[in-house]
Each structure stands twice: as C-alpha cells, then as structure tokens.
Amino acid sequence: MGETEAMPETLIIIFAVVLVLVVGIGLYAGSRKKKSDTFRLDESITPVLTEEEAEALERAEAEVAAEEVPLGDEPVDPQTFTATLERPESVPSRMERLRARLARSGGMGKALLAILSRGDLTEDDWDEIEETLLVADVGLEASDELMENLRTQTKVRGTTDPAVVREILREQLLALVDPSLDRTLDTTPGIGEDGGQHPATVLVVGVNGTGKTTTIGKLARVLVAEDRTVLLGAADTFRAAAADQLATWGERVGVDVVRSDIEGADPASVAFEAVAEGRRRETDVVIVDTAGRLQNKGSLMDELGKIKRVMEKQAPVREVLLVIDATTGQNAMSQAKIFSEVVGITGIVLTKLDGTAKGGIVINVQRTLGVPVKFVGLGEGADDLAPFDPEGFVDALIS
Ligand SMILES: Nc1nc2c(ncn2[C@@H]2O[C@H](COP(=O)(O)OP(=O)(O)OP(=O)(O)O)[C@@H](O)[C@H]2O)c(=O)[nH]1
C-alpha cells in the first residue's frame, strides 16, 4: 500500500525534473537564436519593397530582360550594425602620417634629383633619367614630355644648385600630376521626381584583390566621420566571403550592409536593393561593391553595365570609382583600360602606394584614362585612405 502511494509522488518528481529540463533547454536555445540574430533586422522591419519600388524593380527587370541579361530574384537582406565607434583620425593628421609614409616610397624623385644635380648632363645622364621614369611606371608619353621640359628648364636656368634643380623638378612633376583636376567625390544626395531624397550612389569596380572592399570600408568611415549616413551594397556575390568581408567592415565602421546570403546571387539585384533601401531610409550615400573577374571582357561588360543600369532606375550613379593596385605596374594599366572601356569611370583609387617606390603610376593612369586619382590607399588600417593631394604627393616624392 505504502509502495503504491509513493508511485505518484515519484512520477510527479520525474515530471517536474523533465519539465524543468525542457523549459531550460528551450530558454537556452531561444537565447542562442537571439544572439545569432543580432546583426539581422527583425522580420517585421526587413525591408519589403513598397508598391512603387516593386513596380520599379519590375520595370528594371523587364528592361534589362529585353537586353537579354536576366535579373535574379534572390532574397536580399540588409544587415544592421550598431557598433560603438571610436572617432576616426582627423584629416590633417591622417594626411601628415600618410605623407611621411609616401615619402618613404619616393624612390623616383630622389633618383631624378641626384642625376639632375650633376650639372652639364650628358646623353647618358638623360638616358638614365628616362630609365628611372619608365621603371617608376610614369609611362612613355609622360616620360618624354617630362624629359623635354626638364631639358628646356635646366638649360634656361643653367644651374646645378640643388634647391633650383629641386624646384624645377617639382614644377614639372606637378604639371604632369595636374592640380587643376577636380578630385572631389560627389556625395551630395539628390531629390527625385517623387520629391523624396535620393542617395548619392558610388559604384566601386576593379579586379579582385586590388582593395575594393577595404577602400569602401575606409571611405564609409570617412563619410560617417563627416556625419553622413551611409549604406553599403555587397554586389560582389561571386564569393560569399566577399560579402562577409564587407559586412565585417560595416560592423567596424557602424554602417549597414545590404547583401544576399546566396552565393552567386544576381549582383544587379543586390545593387538595386541597396539603392532602394537607401531611398527608403533617406540615406545620404550608398556605396556598392562589385566583383571584378576579368576572365572575359564581354561578361564583365554585361555584369557591370547591368549593375549600373539597374541602380540608375533608382537614383543616378554619381561616381564610378576604379580601384587599382599600384604595385602591379603595367598590369594595372591594362586592367584600367579595360574597365574604363566597360563602364564610365569618374575617379581612380590607387591602393597600396605604401608598398611601392613606383609613384609614377599616378601620372600614367590619369593620362591614360583622362580621369583624376581621387584617393590613395597607404596601408591596411581603417584610416589609411587619403584624398589625393597633388602638392603633397610631389613633395613626398622629392623629399
Ligand atoms: N598595404 C596595403 N594593403 C591594402 C591596401 N588596400 C587594401 N589592401 C589589402 O589588400 C588585400 C585585398 O583587399 P580587398 O579589399 O579584399 O580587395 P578586393 O578588391 O575587395 O578583393 P576581393 O575581396 O577578392 O574582391 C587585403 O589584404 C587588404 O588589406 C593599401 O592601401 N595598402
């Protein structure tokens, strides 16, 4: 009898233990899920296209489909980051630090100064000057022009005084770098036909590995420091890791990223979504990252052309920045030519100038493309991007 009375109590205890375990596991799983969701927007605020935007996407799809480049319809998620940010380095201090770093790579200027200071230059000396310029990637045409001007000026002034020689070289290099070019980045939002704010959109192109994603992160940081609102679009869908890398930068600089979780998703869809989301949020600047696989000029042209056209259904593309790795010399020059034929470039970002003594590529690329260098990358750090300053650049070369 005592045994049978004890049974329900045992059952109750077992039931209570199981209940506690089930509830405990449930709560733990719930908290884990929440944690991994913190970088995602809530379902309720995940942007859903408004009727107007859906129509715009439909029209864009129809127009692009008519060109036989079908748009994908992969889901695209904006990721929200709420990082606590440290203040970026101020521009003057950044410029000072970068100038010092650039001066260390000023092999060309120093070599030229040494030859020019010999006085009564022989043809061998001029050959040496030409070789120095070509080795520094100045390019044939610009080298010829510089030599011509140096010959004239050194004759006219007839001196080997190092200060005068330096001044002549400075003047001539500066003329080639062309301080009159407009190097500002157009990041002022516009007003659309609907009266709403359109973000200024920046499309970033270039071969993989040149530093596009890093440059976008650094640029976003500069814009955020200027109190601009920024949104990034991960239209490099070729590798999932590329979107992850952009997301990491987004987190680092406190800027949201629109991406697709599907590897190989249509880059144009992501770019379109990023601009649509920028319009919805009235973001000042939307910067779109792209893949730059160069295996075939035709497909590159299709892909970048389509991305640009689709973005323009939402807001005009203000800037197309071509990112070039300064350490790759002639190779960089041929890439630059292909990209400029494929998509109209408005500015050049020359990365990794910290890793080369061949500053001459600045002159060569500007002349070849007829487009100014707007930014230079001088390291992998978040503040290692500076607006290109012709005077500072030439001074650093010959200091
Ligand atoms: N030293 C130096 N390294 C840089 C600079 N800019 C970028 N890098 C490095 O170059 C490498 C490639 O940069 P990414 O930003 O991944 O290049 P990407 O063009 O986006 O390449 P994918 O991600 O393959 O499309 C990274 O290790 C960067 O840290 C720079 O100005 N100086």
Residues 320 and 295: their CA atoms lie apart, in Å, by 21
pTM: 0.78
Tell which atom from ligand 1 comes closest to the C-alpha of 377. Answer: 31
Q: In this structure, which residue's CA is closest to atom 4 in ligand 1? A: 380
Q: Output 194 or 14, whichever has higher pLDDT.
A: 194
- Window from 83-92, 124-133, 289-298 with minimum mean pLDDT: 83-92
Q: Where are the beta strands (DSSP E) in 149-273?
A: 190-191, 197-198, 200-205, 230-235, 256-259
Alpha-carbon dihedral sign for residues 266, 331, 367, 170: positive
Residues 6+ apart with CB under 8 A from 257: 78, 79, 81, 231, 232, 233, 234, 243, 246, 247, 250
What local confidence, expressed as pLDDT, does residue 274 receive? 95
Residue 26, pLDDT above cutoff 50: no
Mean pLDDT of 12-18: 62
What local confidence, expressed as pLDDT, does residue 11 receive? 61
Q: Where in the chain is the domain with CATH 3.40.50.300?
A: 78-90+187-392
Q: Where in the chain is the domain with CATH 1.20.120?
A: 92-177
276 known member of a binding site: no
* Distance, C-alpha 4 to centroid of its chain: 77
Architecture of domain 92-177: Up-down Bundle (1.20)
Instruction: Summarize pLDDT for 229-261 with one digit per residue, the tens.
Output: 999 999 998 888 889 999 999 999 999 999 987
Residues 218 and 398: their CA atoms lie apart, in Å, by 27
36 class by beta-carbon count within 10 Å (0-12 exposed, 13-18 middle, 19+ buried): exposed
Residue 391, pLDDT above cutoff 70: yes
Residues 301 and 342: their CA atoms lie apart, in Å, by 5
Q: Model confidence at 82, in pLDDT bands (50, 70, 90)?
A: very low
Residue 41, pLDDT above cutoff 70: no
What local confidence, expressed as pLDDT, does residue 84 receive? 43
The answer, yes or no, to whether any atom of ligand 1 lies below 6 A from the CB of 211, is: yes
Residues 6+ apart with CB under 8 A from 252: 83, 217, 221, 382
Most distant CA pair in the chain: distance in Å? Answer: 124
The 8-class DSSP code of residue 43 comes to: G
The answer, yes or no, to whether any atom of ligand 1 lies below 6 A from the CB of 379, is: yes
Tell which atom from ligand 1 comes closest to the C-alpha of 236. Answer: 25
212 known member of a binding site: yes
Q: How far is the CA of 320 from the centre of ligand 1 (A)?
A: 18
Q: How far is the CA of 46 from the centre of ligand 1 (A)?
A: 31
Residues 6+ apart with CB under 8 A from 351: 210, 211, 214, 215, 323, 324, 325, 326, 376, 377
Q: Which CATH superfamily is domain 78-90+187-392 in?
A: P-loop containing nucleotide triphosphate hydrolases (3.40.50.300)
- ipTM, 2 dp: 0.96
Alpha-carbon dihedral sign for residues 212, 218, 219, 221: positive
Percentage of the chain lying above the pLDDT 90 cut:
41
What local confidence, expressed as pLDDT, does residue 126 receive? 92
The answer, yes or no, to whether any atom of ligand 1 lies below 6 A from the CB of 105, is: no
The 8-class DSSP code of residue 238 comes to: S
The answer, yes or no, to whether any atom of ligand 1 lies below 6 A from the CB of 179, is: no
Residues 290 and 220: their CA atoms lie apart, in Å, by 16
Is 260:235 a contact under the CB 8 Å cutoff?
no
The answer, yes or no, to whether any atom of ligand 1 lies below 6 A from the CB of 355, is: yes
Residues 132 and 147: their CA atoms lie apart, in Å, by 11
What local confidence, expressed as pLDDT, does residue 18 receive? 60
